[in-house]
Copies of this chain bind each other. A is one copy, B any other.
Amino acid sequence: MFMRARRPEQKQQRREAILAAARELAAESGVRNVTLGGVAAAVGLAKSNVVRYFGTREEIYLVLAAEYWRDWADDVLRRLEEGAGIVDALTEPFAERPVLCDLLGHSAINLEHNVSVPAAADFKRGVLGIIGELGAAVERAHPALAEGEGFEVVGVAAGLAGVLYPAANPPPTLVEVYAQNPDLAAACLPFLPTLKRALAAMVAGLPSLR
């Protein structure tokens, strides 16, 4: 079999070019509307070449989601160190990362299908590690929370961010619905205030469940 000579650095560069194109396309048109062919065209490769790096479109986005989770977590940890309250520290970095929020909504529904078992396992392990790490940091920053409750707070924050993002960033059909129906538009919940309030209520209420 013919194997193209390619040094590891070149392979790594190409891998990163694919991820960068997928990130940019998701930011422009939403994760849902990006195809493998679109990513391939944006990096100037054939689809058959892209799949040597990532088996499927979903695998590209699962790798990107893991990167965004890490980046989000680093921002949360920095804010906690600077003394921010846990609700602000957890939620504001989501508002600054729309592609992450878009990916969160797609993770369980679409991205964890159509990927290889090792890719899915890596992703799960990475996300659980991050939730555990942040959970412990949240408990240190907010001593009213008992052991394990930080993990729950971080998990719910991410879950709600994934639900609220598409509701607050409606697709063209709903934009038209809202233009025609101001009463429905008024009921469209704003992302950050809604997320903060639900999470603040949960944080305040958890101790009473012990």
Does A48 touch B at the CB level, under 8 Å? Answer: no
Asked whether, in the complex, the Cβ of B206 is within 8 Å of the Cβ of A201, the reply is yes
Does A208 touch B at the CB level, under 8 Å? Answer: yes
Q: What is the predominant secondary structure among interface residues of chain A facing chain B?
A: helix
Q: In which size bucket is the chain A interface?
A: 35 or more
Does A57 touch B at the CB level, under 8 Å? Answer: no
- Would A109 and B32 be within 8 Å (CB), given that A163-B162, A204-B204 are in contact? yes
**Could you tell me which residues of chain A, from 105 to 157, have a CB within 8 Å of some CB in chain B?**
105-106, 108-110, 112-117, 120-121, 124-125, 128, 152, 155-156
Asked whether, in the complex, the Cβ of A180 is within 8 Å of the Cβ of B110, the reply is no
A sample of 7 more A-B contacts (CB under 8 A), given A112-B170, A120-B177, is: A32-B110, A155-B189, A160-B160, A162-B163, A201-B203, A201-B209, A204-B208
Which of B116, B160, B167, B177 sits near A108, CB closer than 8 Å? B167
